[in-house]
């Protein structure tokens, strides 16, 4: 094991320093992403006092738009020129500062404005931050893995590093968010100040990622002979849809993120109204994050023994079991924590490995169809996270609205309590089952060595 990477070879083994620098990129992304996924709906409904159903509708509409911007950003990335920082890091540098700033505005809803103006502010701030700024950050970051190395095992290890650092960031957020809010006097402005802290830390981590990694794989679309062969937006999208490995992975990842976000969004509500104590929420969230981290650190073992596809299926199956068990334990505190631990282990194994599948899927597509669509292909990871979490946030709010949930009320009706259980247990279970089934026949691991050997031979001949 080496500390620094001392080679520019595309198949080289990376040093700990570069793997860590790459992980810091997702560490930065997760500060805002986890804050939004876990606390934003609660902030809107219980702090600002907005209607849960309207908030859910805004999020649903926004995510439909968000999916389009992901693909557009992928297309822009594919057709950008290499700079001094390469292609992906150039765009990451351009977008990380606007992302840090706009993330603060998401948690800065004006308290004295009319309800109509509040909803307009929510729509604009949410979309500018997520549909534009986070899209540019996330697509650029996810495409960076493809440019760092072509080594399948190194990609798998980078996938583990990115998820480990994301989990550490998530653990920091779930452990400190409510404490920061209380420290800053507990009002609406306290939430804004808390997010400012996370934005500054995230921006610093992005800089470590940008200047601590290297793009070894040059884009063939930048060569004069390949300009005429660069696929159009329509052709790129068509190639991705024909790539069955890319498509099934993207769908599975999106649905899995829906379930995970529904669960995370429901922690505050389930702890406060079903279990009877909102103070249980940090412990529940931390158990998930800690066990997730442990699963990610161990993910290399099943990945090495059984391959990426099987490892993903094992994680998905554990998640299915964990949500099914949640029906049995109900509001029992110890039982809920056991389910949280199972949630964390299943999620940790699933996401640690699936992050390394996208570059492999794109190698298959390039081998099969002769075109490189890395930017749009890596937009699938951003698409899966954002659209999955956004749809979950929308559905979560709508279900609460149908159950007549009132964030300003001291107690909730029976229909509201049922809505919380549907959001927190039933829907995540359905998502876990669907995600698991989608990955049931994934078998690219067996074919990849030959595919990459043929791709390398083809490129060496040019």
Tell me whether residue 182 is in a domain.
yes
Residue 120: pLDDT above 90?
yes
Residue 223: pLDDT above 60?
no
Query: Other C-beta atoms within 10 Å of 98: how many?
Result: 16
Tell me whether residue 309 is in a domain.
yes
Tell me whether residue 31 is in a domain.
yes
- Cα 29 to its chain centre, rounded Å, is 8
* pTM of the full structure: 0.73
Nearest to 342 by CA among 314, 315, 322: 322
Tell me whether residue 228 is in a domain.
no
Tell me whether residue 245 is in a domain.
yes
Locate 367 and state its tokens: 């081998």
For the chain, how many structural domains are there in total?
Answer: 1
- Identify the pLDDT of residue 113: 92
**Look-up: residue for tokens 């060595």?**
449
Query: How confident is residue 224, by pLDDT bands cut at 50, 70 and 90?
Result: very low
Domain harbouring 40, CATH code: 1.20.1250.20
Query: How confident is residue 226, by pLDDT bands cut at 50, 70 and 90?
Result: very low
Residue 106: pLDDT above 70?
yes
Tell me whether residue 47 is in a domain.
yes
Tell me whether residue 418 is in a domain.
yes
The rounded distance, in Å, linking the Cα atoms of 357 and 252 is 12
- Identify the pLDDT of residue 143: 87
- Identify the pLDDT of residue 1: 61
**250-270 per-position pLDDT tens digit:** 899 889 889 988 998 888 899
Q: What is the mean pLDDT of residues 22-50?
A: 89
Locate 453 and state its tokens: 């050997």
Q: Which domain holds residue 396?
A: 19-220+236-455
Tell me whether residue 2 is in a domain.
no
Query: How confident is residue 373, by pLDDT bands cut at 50, 70 and 90?
Result: confident
């Amino acid at each position: 094991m080496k500390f620094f990477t001392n080679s520019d070879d595309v198949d080289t083994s990376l040093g700990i320093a570069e793997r860590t620098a790459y992980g810091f990129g997702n560490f930065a992304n997760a500060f805002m992403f986890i804050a939004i996924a876990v606390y934003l709906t609660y902030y809107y409904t219980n702090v600002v006092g907005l209607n849960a159903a309207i908030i859910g509708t805004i999020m649903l509409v926004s995510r439909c738009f968000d999916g389009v911007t992901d693909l557009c950003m992928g297309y822009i990335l594919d057709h950008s020129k290499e700079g001094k920082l390469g292609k992906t890091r150039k765009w990451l540098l351009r977008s990380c500062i606007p992302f840090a700033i706009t993330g603060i505005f998401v948690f800065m809803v004006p308290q004295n404005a009319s309800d109509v103006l509040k909803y307009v502010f929510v729509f604009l701030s949410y979309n500018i931050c997520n549909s534009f700024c986070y899209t540019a950050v996330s697509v650029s970051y996810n495409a960076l893995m493809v440019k760092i190395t072509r080594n399948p095992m190194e990609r798998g290890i980078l996938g583990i590093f990115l998820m480990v650092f994301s989990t550490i960031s998530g653990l920091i957020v779930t452990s400190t968010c409510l404490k920061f809010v209380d420290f800053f006097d507990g009002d609406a402005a306290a939430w804004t100040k808390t997010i400012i802290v996370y934005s500054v830390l995230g921006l610093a981590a992005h800089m470590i990622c940008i200047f601590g990694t290297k793009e070894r794989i040059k884009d063939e679309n930048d060569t004069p002979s390949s300009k005429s062969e660069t696929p159009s937006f329509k052709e790129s999208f068509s190639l991705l849809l024909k790539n069955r490995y890319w498509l099934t992975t993207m769908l599975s990842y999106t649905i899995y993120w829906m379930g995970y976000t529904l669960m995370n969004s429901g922690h505050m509500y389930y702890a406060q109204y079903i279990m009877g104590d909102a103070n249980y929420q940090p412990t529940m969230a931390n158990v998930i994050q800690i066990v997730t981290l442990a699963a990610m650190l161990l993910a290399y073992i099943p990945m090495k023994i059984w391959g990426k596809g099987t490892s993903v299926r094992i994680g998905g199956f554990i998640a299915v079991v964990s949500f099914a068990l949640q029906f049995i334990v109900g509001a029992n505190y110890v039982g809920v924590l056991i389910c949280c631990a199972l949630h964390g282990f299943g999620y940790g194994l699933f996401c640690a490995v699936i992050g390394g599948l996208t570059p492999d899927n794109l190698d298959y597509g390039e081998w099969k169809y002769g075109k490189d669509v890395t930017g749009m292909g890596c937009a699938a990871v951003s698409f899966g996270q954002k659209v999955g979490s956004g749809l979950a946030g929308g559905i979560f709010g709508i279900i609460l609205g149908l159950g007549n949930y009132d964030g300003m009320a001291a107690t909730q009706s029976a229909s509201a309590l049922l809505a919380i259980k549907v959001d927190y247990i039933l829907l995540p279970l359905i998502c876990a089952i669907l995600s698991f089934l989608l990955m049931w026949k994934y078998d690219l691991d067996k074919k990849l060595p030959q595919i990459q050997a043929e791709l390398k031979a083809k490129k060496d001949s040019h």
